[in-house]
Amino acid sequence: MNPSPPDPQTPPGTVWYGWVLNLFHHLKVGESQVTFMWAVLVGIVGASMSMCFEWLVEFIQWLLTGIWSDSRVGVFSLLEPEWRIAVPAIGGLVAGFILLFVKRRMPGQAMEYMEALAIGNGLIKVRASSLKVLSAAWSIASGAAIGKEGPIIQSSALIASAVGQKLHVSIPRLRLLVGCGAAAGFTTAFHAPFSGCLFVSEIIIGTVSMDILAPLLIASCTGFLMLHLLGDPSPLYSSPFESFTMFSQSLWCVALGVLAAVAAKGWVALLDVSNKYLNGRQSLLPVRLMAAGLLVGVLACFYPEVVGNGQALITGLVHEDYGTQQALILLAVKVSAVAVVFGCGTVGGAMTPTLFVGSMVGFIFSTLLNLMGMEGNHAVAYAMVGMAAFFATAAQAPLTALVMVVEFSMSGQMIYPLLIGVVSAYGTSKLIRARSMYAASLSGSTASVVSLPMAQVHVHDLARHVVPQVLPDASLEEVSSLMLKNPGDLIFVVKQDGSYLGTIYPGDVPGIRKKWNPGPGGKPPSAGDLIRPGAPVLDGDTHLTDALKLFEQDHLSAAAVVRQADGRLDGVLYRTALFQVITEMMKRESSGAEPL
C-alpha cells in the first residue's frame, strides 16, 4: 500500500515557522529588543574598528621610526634629535595633503560623529570620513600633540552608520546606532564603559533617558568585552594613592571646583582663539600641519612628553614622577603644543589634553595647600578632583566627568570629594557662562529634522520608509518567512501600486496558526486574512504632538504611516523613536537653545 501524498495545502516548514514565531511571541520580541541586538552587533564591530585604528597608528609609527610601540613618548625618547624634529613634520605634511584632498574633492562630506548625532540624520559618508580618520592616524603616529580618542570614536561611529544605512532604519534609529558606535569607541579608547554611554547621552544627544541609555550601555559593555578579548582592559590611571582622611580636606574641593571652572573657561577660549587665527587658507593646510609638527618636534628634543595626547603625562602625575617645577614646565609646553596643533586644523581629539590640564590644576592646588601648612600628600587625590571638575566645565557634562574619573582611577572612595568638586565647578561655570569645547561640533553643520522646532516636524520626517510589505494574496508561509527576517516588525499589506490595505501584527500570527486546520480542505490563510481590523494609521503630515496622543491613547508600539493624498504606504513610526525625538526637542526648547 502506497503512502498517501502530503497535503498540497500544507506549506513546507510550517512547523518550524510556527515554533520560532511562538518563541518570539512568548519572549515579546519587539522593536526595542531588535535594537538591543543591533547594539550588540554595533558594539562588536565598532570596538573592533577602534582597535584596528590603534593598530594602524602603530604601523604608521613603525614606518616612520622603525619602532613598534603603543607609547609615543617612549618611541620619541629613543629617537635622535634630528628624527624627533623630522617625524612630526613628515606626518603633518602627509596628514595635511590627505585632508586637503578630502576638502577639495569631497567638500562637506566628512561629517563628524558629533554632528551626525546631535544635529544630523546619522548619515556618515564612508569614503570621506575614512580618509579623515587616515589623516588623523598619520598625525597621531608622528607624535602630534592631540588626542587619539576623536578618530577612534569617529571610526567606530562610521561603521555603525554604515550598518544602520544598510538596514534602512529610520532617522532616530540610525542616530541611536551611531551613538552606540560612538559609545563602543569611547569605551575602547578610555576603558570606561559606563562613561562611554554617558558621554554620548549627556554631551552629544543632550538627554539622559532609559530608551537611549539602554542600547548605549549594551554597546559600551559589548565593546568592553571585545577589549578584554583583543586588548588590555586595565584602568588607564589606576594607582594606590592617599585619599582624604579629614572632612576639611574634602571641603577644599569647593574652592578647587571654582578654580577649575575658571581655568577651564580659559582653556576653551584658548582653543577657540588658536583655531580662529591659525586655521587659515585651505590650500596651505599641509604647510600648516607640517609647521605644527616642526614645533612639536623641536619641543620634543627637550621634553619628549610633549608628543601624544597627554596620557603619559597623566600617568606620570598619578605615579608622582614629577616635581612641582617640572610639572609646571610640562604644563606650559603641552598647552602651547596642543593649542598650535589643534588650531592649525589637525584631526584629533581634545579630551585627553583637557583631562591632563585639569589634573595639573588639581596638582597645583594641592601644592598651594601644602605651602599653607596642610599635612599629608594629597597631590594625586586633588589631581583627580581637578580633572573631573575641569572636564565638567569644559564639556558641560558633570555626570560624565564624575563617572569617568571614578572609572579611570578605580577609586570609589573618592566619590564624595569628586562630587563636591564637580558640583562646585558646574555651578561656577553657569555663573561665568562657560562654553562647552564641543559647542562648535554640536552646531556646525546643516540642520536636520531633529534640530528643527517641534512644530515644523511631521510624522513623515521620522518614519522608517523601507518596511516589510506583502501583497494581499501572499501565503502564510511568505508572511511567516518575512516575520523571521524582520523580528518584531509590523508587516504591511499593500496593493500592486503601493496602496495601503492593512497591518499584520506579529503577536496575532501564532494564534491564527493554531486555529488553522492543515488537514484536507483546510485552506491556509493569506496575508489579507491576517490584517488586524481597525489598526491605527497616521497621516504623513501629522504633527508630532498629535501622533503622541494617538500612541498614548491606543498604547501602540508602532503605527503605519500613509500618504493621505494617494493612500500609499509611506512607512512606519515607532513609539520609541517618537519619544526619543520629542524628549530631545523639549529639552532643547526648554533650555532656550535656538533651533539650528
CATH number of the domain enclosing 585: 3.10.580.10
462 and 315 housed in the same domain = no
Within a domain: residue 14? no
pTM, entire model: 0.79
CA distance 54 to 501: 52
Q: Which among 198, 215, 236 is the end of a domain? A: 236
163 and 211 housed in the same domain = yes
Instruction: Tell me the sheet residues that pair with 539.
Output: 562
Beta-sheet strand order (sheet of 469-470) = 469-470, 491-494, 500-504
410 and 279 housed in the same domain = yes
Longest dimension (CA), the chain: 106
Within a domain: residue 71? yes
503 and 544 housed in the same domain = yes
How far is Cα of residue 375 from the mean position of the Cα atoms in its chain?
43
Q: Output 91 or 508, whichever has higher pLDDT.
A: 91
Strands of 222-304, DSSP E: none
The residue to which cell 617645577 is assigned: 325
How many domains does the chain divide into? 3
**Residue range 560-582: average pLDDT?**
84
Which candidate, 226, 437, 175, 190, places its Cα nearest to that of 309?
190
- Residue 464 near residue 488 (C-beta atoms within 8 A): no
pLDDT tens, 302-336?
999 999 888 888 888 888 888 889 999 999 999 99
Q: Output 340 or 477, whichever has higher pLDDT.
A: 340
> 522 lies in which domain range?
450-590
267 and 400 housed in the same domain = yes
Within a domain: residue 549? yes
Within a domain: residue 455? yes
121 and 181 housed in the same domain = yes
| Dihedral angle computed from the Cα positions of residues 163, 111, 310 and 245, in that order, rounded to the nearest 10 degrees | -70
**Which residues 6+ apart lie within 8 Å of 262 measured at CB?**
428, 432
Give the model's pLDDT for residue 589. Answer: 63
Within a domain: residue 76? yes
391 and 491 housed in the same domain = no
Within a domain: residue 9? no
| pLDDT over threshold 50, residue 596 | no
366 and 476 housed in the same domain = no
Give the model's pLDDT for residue 595. Answer: 46
CA distance 349 to 145: 10
Q: Which amino acid does the sequence have at 288?
A: R
What is the C-alpha end-to-end distance of the chain, expressed in Å? 79
